[in-house]
Chains A and B, each alone.
Chain A
Amino acid sequence: MFLDFFLILKNQGVPVTLKEYLSLLEALHKNVINQRVDEFYHLSKSMLVKNEKHLDKFDHIFGEYFKGMESITNEDFFKIPEEWMNKNSEKLLSPEQMEQIKAMGGLDKVLDRLKELLEEQKERHEGGSKWIGTGGTSPFGAYGYNPEGIRIGQNESRHRKAIKVWDKRAFKNLDENVDLETRNLKMALRKLRTLTREGKQEELDIKKTVKSTSNNAGILHLEMVPSKKNNIKVLLFFDIGGSMDDHIKLCSELFSAAKYEFKHMEHYYFHNCIYENLWQNNIRRHNEHIPTYDILHKFNKEYKVIIVGDASMSPYEIASQYGSVEHYNEESGETWMRRFTEQFNNVVWLNPIQEKEWKYTRSIGMMKIIVKDQMYPLTLQGIGKAIQSLLN
Chain B
Amino acid sequence: MSFKSTSTYIASDGLKIAVNASITLQKPLIVKGEPGTGKTLLAEEIAASLSKKLISWNVKSTTTAQQGLYEYDAVSRLRDSQLGDEKVNDIANYIVKGKLWEAFDSEEQVILLIDEVDKADIEFPNDLLQELDKMEFYCYELKKTIKAKVRPIIIITSNNEKELPDAFLRRCLFHYISFPDRDTLKEIINVHYEKLEDTMINSAMRVFYDLRNIRSIKKRPSTSEIIDWIKLLTIGKITAKELDGWQPGSGDFPYSGALIKNEQDLITLKI
Contacts and interface: CB of A to CB of B under 8 A. Distances in A.
Interface in A273-297: 284, 287-288
Given A46-B17, A88-B215, A263-B122, A15 B173 contact: no
Given A220-B79, A256-B163, A26 B14 contact: no
A284 B176 contact: no
B81 to A, nearest CB: 9
A10 interface: no
What size tier do the contact residues of chain A reach?
35 or more
Most chain-A CB neighbours within 10 Å: which of B17, B30, B165, B166? B17
Contacts of B78: 220
A140 interface: yes
Contact of B213 (A20, A32, A43, A88): A88
Interface in B180-209: none
B13 interface: yes
A87 B213 contact: yes
Contacts, number: 92
Interface string A40-75: 001101110111100100000000000000000000
Given A19-B170, A42-B13, A263-B122, A47 B213 contact: no
Nearest to A202: B62
Interface residues of B, number: 37
B174 A139 contact: no
A154 interface: no
B214 A42 contact: no
Contact of A222 (B75, B121, B169, B175): B75
B138 to A, nearest CB: 23
A45 B30 contact: no
B82 interface: yes
Given A39-B13, A88-B215, A204 B21 contact: no
Contacts of B29: 46
B24 A140 contact: no
Nearest to A284: B215
Nearest to A265: B162
A42 B17 contact: yes
A183 B204 CA distance: 48
Contact of A42 (B18, B27, B178): B18
Contacts of B170: 17, 19-20, 50
A30 interface: yes
B130 to A, nearest CB: 15
B32 interface: yes
Contact of A180 (B24, B166, B176): B166
A15 B216 contact: no
Contacts of B165: 260
B176 A140 contact: yes
Contact of A220 (B20, B24, B25, B82): B82
A46 B163 contact: no
A325 interface: no
Contacts of B42: none
16 contacts: A26-B25, A27-B21, A32-B20, A32-B24, A43-B18, A45-B14, A50-B166, A50-B172, A51-B169, A51-B174, A52-B176, A88-B213, A140-B176, A220-B75, A220-B82, A256-B163
Interface of B: 13-14, 17-18, 20-22, 24-25, 27, 29-30, 32, 62, 74-75, 78-79, 82, 121-122, 162-163, 165-166, 169-170, 172-176, 178, 213-216
Interface of A: 15, 17, 19-20, 23, 26-27, 30, 32-33, 38-39, 42-43, 45-47, 49-52, 55, 86-88, 139-140, 180, 202, 204, 218-220, 222, 227, 230, 256, 259-261, 263, 284, 287-288
